[in-house]
Amino acid sequence: MSEQDVGPIDYLAVEFPGGRLNGDGLAALVDLTERGIIRILDLVIAQVDADGSFVTVELADLDGDGELDLAVFEGVTSGLLDDEDIASSAALVEPGNAVGVIVYENTWAGPFVTAMRKAGAEVIASGRIPADDVIAALDALEGAEA
């Protein structure tokens, strides 16, 4: 097994109503990348037509303000995200909307995983707890403390 620091790989699919992207999340994505917290492996934007078909959109001036919004991610592709994945994500959004799909590495975890391997340990499982479950649990805890 490789000794390279590799963190867990995750994906997000984000729906953009009306296919409009206003750039609010872009600064946060760039910041996370520049600080080395995540590494973008794939980034695709697709416009979903009224019949459910979709067309991928070039990373360009997505919000129409005259500036290239995602130039830092232009051409980012790892091969982990394929047409079937994009089609599955496009099927989740309403016709006329757009979907952004991001595959990213949690680079913060890579050095930890490598250190554990060097100590003879292995990561044997990882997972994701849905945000709604976390919010509900925190709300219940907060309610119990009141």
On average, the pLDDT of the chain sits at 83
For the entire predicted model, the pTM comes to: 0.76
Model confidence band, residue 64 (pLDDT cutoffs 50, 70, 90) = low
Condensed to tens digits (0 to 9), the pLDDT of residues 17-38 reads 988 776 677 778 888 988 999 9
Q: Which residue, 98, 97, 59, 101, is CA-closest to 80?
A: 101
Which amino acid, one-letter code, is at 125?
Answer: A
| Residue-range domain boundaries for the chain | 9-109
Q: What is the pLDDT of residue 5?
A: 73
Mean of the pLDDT values across residues 102-109? 91
